[in-house]
Structure formats: C-alpha cells, structure tokens
Amino acid sequence: MIDRSSRVPYYEQLRVILERAMAEGRVPAGRQLPSEAQLCEDYGVSRTVVRQALGALAGEGLIVRHKGKGSFVAPPKVDEHLAQSLTGLAEEVRARGQRLTNDILAFERAGPPAHIADVLALTPGEDVIHLERLRSIDGERWNVTSTYLPFALCEPLLALDMRERSLYATLEQELGLVLDHGRRTIEAAVAGERHGRLLGIPPGSPVLLLKSVAYLRDGRPIEYFLAWHRGDRTRFDVELHRRRPGALSSPNLL
C-alpha cells in the first residue's frame, strides 16, 4: 500500500506497486489494469496520482493505453542480438527454437537508388536484386525488411523460394558468397501508414530502424538492408567491452 509517511511521491510508489505486480505475474501480459477510478479507491490517491503513475509505466513500455478502453499490460519485449554480430534474423530466431516465416512483398531485378548504388559500390548501369519481406515469428508480425544485393553476384537467388529460407545461409551455402564483416546502425523512428499497416500497429507508433551493410572477405559489399522492427516487441541487446586508455579512434569520443 501507499506509505503516507514516505518522502517518495505517491505516484512513484504506485508505479512501483503496479510494476512489481506485473513483474511477478500477478497481472500477466495482455490483462487489463483496474480503471483509474478503481485504482484511486484501492490506494486512496487522487486521479492525478494515478495518471502520473500510468503515464510513467506507459513511457517505459510496460503498459499500453487504449483510449476509451483502459490500460493493458504490454507483452514482454524480445532481446535481439543483430546489432552485435553479423547474423540474420532467421539464424537468431531458429537458435531460440522459434519459427520465422516471410511474406514476400517484392523480389525483383531493379535499378538501384543512387545512394544504394554508392553503398554497394556499383558501377553505372548495374542492377540490384530488391527483396522486401514482412517477417513473422511464430505467426506474430515482427518486422519489414527491404534488402538490396548486387544482381551480378546474386542472380541465382531469383529462382529460389525465399519464404522460409535464411538469406545468409543461402548466400554462403548455395552461392558460395562468404560474409565476413559488416556495419549496423539503429535509429528511433515512427511507422508510416504502409509499415504500420503491414506490422499491424497504428501509424506513428515507435519502431526501431536497423540499417546494415555486409561485406565479403575480399571487402566487396554484398548486402544493404533496412529493417523496421516493432518498438513494442523488440529491443536490441548489445554486449560491451571497455577499451583500454589510448585505444579510442578519436580524441573527441567519450
């Protein structure tokens, strides 16, 4: 209950009480929380206190608030490690014992936008293979990925069914293109109308935008992709190691 003698604000006490109830499974994922009026009565606090507590929980992604319906416990986010190793989503999902399926939205030979041609070090007039997929894990929509590969190196892909294949495994095992290293960035973004519709979330919902370039052993870029991950279901887990003094690449880095 609320400790009236504590210097901790009432809304913070209530936030902790509700968060603990969710963490301990007493209010499981998907369950509706009591109404604001009920919380006011149960804990003897004002509606302002309740709204502050719920707002804090919503800001942490622990609950989802639906106008006119109430607040619901959000499903737990899944840790992904795509930002710390050159693996594909298919490889990571299968390692977790889950099933990844792909709805193919585009799979074609195309002329690349200028910035993608630059990233893939293509000469003028070279085409790419554009592969766009809506990816689902155990039947739940997870991300939308738009992938570009040099057509000259990857033409045999167009004859394959990529609905349940791992792209990286196919490149290495069937095309003999061994991936060696890459660079990935993560940005906060919002879902536009199309990506929101594909992912089953309202337009304007938070998403994590992952951008990646992969290279072969000889240094040639082989893949560029953008992946829009649902912000309500995904978080990226990154393992860090402290560099020794003097090892920073730039004196301006902290």
Residues 127 and 112 in one domain: yes
pLDDT of residue 77: 62
Q: How far apart are CA 98 and CA 138, in angstroms?
A: 6
Contacts of 206 (CB under 8 A, 6+ apart): 188, 189, 190, 191, 231, 232
Angle, CA of 9, 15 and 20, to the nearest 5°: 130
Same structural domain, 55 and 92: no
Average pLDDT over residues 52-60: 86
Whether 241 maps to a domain, the answer reads no
CATH value at residue 46? 1.10.10.10
Same domain, 188 and 138: yes
43 and 118 together in one domain: no
d(C-alpha 33, C-alpha 144), whole Å: 31
How confident is the model at residue 29, as a pLDDT?
82
Polymer length of the chain: 254
DSSP 192: -
Cα separation of 10 and 155, whole Å? 63
Same structural domain for residues 53 and 143? Answer: no
Q: What is the mean pLDDT of residues 156-181?
A: 91
Residue 155 and residue 131 in contact, taking contact as beta carbons nearer than 8 Å? no
Task: Kindly tell me if the per-residue pLDDT of 109 is higher than 90.
Answer: yes
> What was the pLDDT predicted at 163?
87
Q: Is 189 exposed, middle or buried (0-12, 13-18, 19+ CB in 10 A)?
A: middle
Residues 55 and 130 in one domain: no
Whether residue 190 is predicted with pLDDT greater than 70 in this model: the reply is yes
Are residue 154 and residue 62 in the same domain, yes or no?
no
Please return the burial class of 51, using the count of CB atoms within 10 Å of its CB with bins 0-12, 13-18 and 19+.
middle
Provide Rg for the chain, Cα atoms.
Answer: 23
Q: Over pLDDT 70: what percentage of the chain? A: 84
Q: Which domain holds residue 69?
A: 10-73
Q: Between 10-23 and 36-43, two packed helices, what is the crossing angle to 10 degrees?
A: 110
Residues 91 and 208 in one domain: yes
Per the structure, the count of domains in the chain is: 2
Q: Is residue 247 part of a domain?
A: no
Residue 5 in any domain: the answer is no
Q: What is the pLDDT of residues 209-218, one digit of tens each?
A: 989 999 999 9
| HEC per residue, 52-82 | HHHHHHHHCCCEEEECCCEEEECCCCEEECC
Give the pLDDT confidence score for residue 101 in this predicted structure: 85
Asked whether 232 and 150 are in contact (CB, 8 A), the reply is: no
Q: What is the pLDDT of residues 75-100, one digit of tens each?
A: 766 655 454 455 666 666 677 677 78
Model confidence at 61, pLDDT cuts 50, 70, 90, reads confident
Residue 117 inside a domain? The answer is: yes
Which residues are paired to 213 by β-bridges? 183, 224
- What CATH number did the domain enclosing 183 receive? 3.40.1410.10
**85 and 63 both lie in a single domain:** no
Same domain (yes/no): 178, 128: yes
Which runs of E-coded beta strand occur in 81-220?
100-110, 128-137, 140-150, 179-190, 206-216
Structure tokens at 249: 């690449």
- For the chain, give me the number of helices (H) and strands (E)? 8, 10
Residues 17 and 113 reside in one and the same domain: no
Supply the pLDDT for residue 240. 60
